[in-house]
Amino acid sequence: MKKLWAGRFREKTAKSVESFTESISFDYRLWRYDIEGSIAHAKMLAKQSIISHEDSEKIIKALKEIAKEIQGGKFIFRVDLEDIHMNIEAALIRKIGEAGGKLHTARSRNDQISLDLRLYLREETKEILMLIKKFQYTLLSIATKHLTVVMPGYTHLQRAQPVLLSHHLLAYAEMLQRDRERLRDAYKRINVLPLGASALAGTSFPIDRGYVAKLLGFEDVSKNSVDTVSDRDFALEFLSNTAILTMHLSRFAEELVLWSTHEFGYIELPEAFSTGSSAMPQKKNPDVAELIRGKTGRVYGNLFSVLTIMKGLPLSYNRDLQEDKPALFDTVDTVKSCLSVLDEMLPNVMFNAERLRKAAEEEYLTATDIAEYLVRGGLPFRKAHEVTGRLVSYCVGRKKKLEELTIKELKKFSPLISEDIYAFLSPEESVRRKKSIGSTSPEEVRRQIKRLQKVVSKN
């Protein structure tokens, strides 16, 4: 079949070039959005008397038939027709003849592909937002279930202070809330109609861009035709936001890997979400968590791929932009699969409350509480810090726990210490005494759970 743009050319396109330049092998998945945009365009062309209502109705009817063929697996995508736009347009012309050739009036593949991508990302952003919300609910449910479980909080991967397991899990719920806010904000910049920019200079036809925006649910229309066809900021912003999202998922996955080891022993991963070794029969490997961690690298790579594509492009459209789609599609698929499998796995993870509590008793985690005790007695914090440090050093040298010291031993370090200090030395008491907003006390954690439940349910 003759190319739809063949008028200028006397030679046929080389087969190798057809193979090299085609994008139908990956942009076929935009077919639904391409047809949706074309139907809106056909309606507008008729409304503005650019084409007849009769031709518009023929076009729309044929496009709906093509959609059914694609959905039913009967449509044959052809490499020689390059992309999804030309495959659908060629099929349209085969069905209704010359009327089909009128559809492309006042538009270009340049603004058409931007439209398809925006419609696609608009839908996928909504779905990813729903998946994040679902995972937040899972985290909140598990946090509520484990409100009394104490564990070590860490800095520098060293045990630092006692915290509630629920408090630790809520940290990820907060990260995910920021992810949702970023994606919702970026949605506003995705939801801008590009159609009407045409190839780069606009069109001499009296089109109604506002009408098309209304038909397709766009909140605004793009303001500069040159910028419109060359813009992929909306895609980069999506890739950047999802890179941050997967970074958060990767951090959580890393902790699941660490916590499932014998050295930590904090959790038991479900067998249904683990794999074995081909050589070592005893192994149960945290492959799901490891793959989430690994797939984050793919999402980062996709972001840098599109950034690199964009960095040297002169205005306006360049064929380089064809290469944005594999990166976008892969990121969407990867993010959705990571969120889904993690949300499915987490409710089946068993937390070892006894081991977590025992770990919170070790390594002098209530040392800061002793320093604060001394401050309440009138000692400046820096001095209290020094006294407590010497007290810990004394315990380390004698292989004693803080609570094993006699009152006589304790008083050697400060006359401010009395019998009531022992009430400050348990992990439970340490978390209970926290007063600040956002702290790890049971009362505050309950409050934060209620707050997050309201925040998550509203958005």
* Contact by Cβ (8 Å): 187, 122: yes
Average pLDDT over residues 176-191: 98
Domain boundary among 354, 377, 401: 354
Average pLDDT over residues 29-37: 98
Domain boundary among 326, 354, 382: 354
* Contact by Cβ (8 Å): 410, 370: no
416 and 293 within one domain: no
Q: How many domains does the chain have?
A: 3
CATH number reported for the structural domain that contains residue 287 in this entry: 1.20.200.10
3-class DSSP assignment, residue 206: coil
User: What are 269-286's pLDDT values in tens digits?
Assistant: 999 998 887 888 888 899
253 and 186 within one domain: yes
Q: Is pLDDT at 18 greater than 90 in this prediction?
A: no
pLDDT category, 9, cuts 50, 70, 90? low
Annotated catalytic residue within 19, 25, 52, 277: 277
Which residues lie below 8 Å from residue 71, measured CB to CB, with a gap of 6+? none
Active site residue 277: yes
C-alpha closest to that of 89 among 24, 17, 160, 15: 24
Residue 144 lies in a domain: no
336 and 312 within one domain: yes
Which residues lie below 8 Å from residue 78, measured CB to CB, with a gap of 6+? 1, 24, 87, 90
Q: What is the pLDDT of residue 24?
A: 93
3-class DSSP assignment, residue 160: strand
125 and 271 within one domain: yes
DSSP letter string over 229-248?
HH--HHHHHHHHHHHHHHHH
Q: What is the pLDDT of residue 2?
A: 61
Residue 325 lies in a domain: yes
407 and 346 within one domain: no
Active site residue 156: yes
Rounded Cα distance between 412 and 132, Å, is 54
Q: Are strands 150-155 and 158-164 parallel, antiparallel or unpaired?
A: antiparallel
Q: Is pLDDT at 405 greater than 80 in this prediction?
A: yes
3-class DSSP assignment, residue 172: helix
H-helix segments, 191-232: 209-216, 225-230
Q: What is the pLDDT of residue 284?
A: 87
395 and 286 within one domain: no
- Stated length of the chain: 459
Q: What is the pLDDT of residue 1?
A: 58
Q: Is pLDDT at 5 greater than 60 in this prediction?
A: no
C-alpha closest to that of 83 among 4, 16, 10, 14: 4
Q: Residue 347: exposed, middle, or buried by beta-carbon count in 10 A (0-12, 13-18, 19+)?
A: exposed
Q: Is pLDDT at 317 greater than 60 in this prediction?
A: yes
368 and 292 within one domain: no
Q: Is pLDDT at 94 greater than 60 in this prediction?
A: yes
327 and 226 within one domain: yes
Question: Tokens representing 289?
Answer: 């968590």
379 and 283 within one domain: no
365 and 278 within one domain: no
Mean pLDDT of the chain: 95
314 and 385 within one domain: no
Residue 143 lies in a domain: no
Percentage of residues in the chain having pLDDT higher than 90: 88
Rounded Cα distance between 147 and 405, Å, is 30
Average pLDDT over residues 200-210: 98
Annotated catalytic residue within 16, 49, 156, 262: 156
Residue 171 lies in a domain: yes
Q: Residue 436: exposed, middle, or buried by beta-carbon count in 10 A (0-12, 13-18, 19+)?
A: exposed
Which range is least confidently modeled, 9-13, 307-311, 361-365, 375-379?
A: 9-13
Average pLDDT over residues 237-248: 98
CATH number reported for the structural domain that contains residue 38 in this entry: 1.10.275.10
Question: Tokens representing 323?
Answer: 């290469």
Q: What is the pLDDT of residue 366?
A: 92
Which residues lie below 8 Å from residue 55, measured CB to CB, with a gap of 6+? 46, 99, 102
Residue 148 lies in a domain: no
Percentage of residues in the chain having pLDDT higher than 70: 98
Average pLDDT over residues 299-304: 98
User: What are 407-424's pLDDT values in tens digits?
Assistant: 999 999 999 999 999 988
3-class DSSP assignment, residue 82: coil
User: What share of residues in the chain are helix, strand, coil (percent, to 5)?
Assistant: 65, 5, 30
Average pLDDT over residues 283-292: 93
228 and 282 within one domain: yes
Residue 365: give the domain boundaries: 359-458
User: What are 97-148's pLDDT values in tens digits?
Assistant: 999 999 999 999 999 999 999 999 999 999 999 999 999 999 999 999 999 9
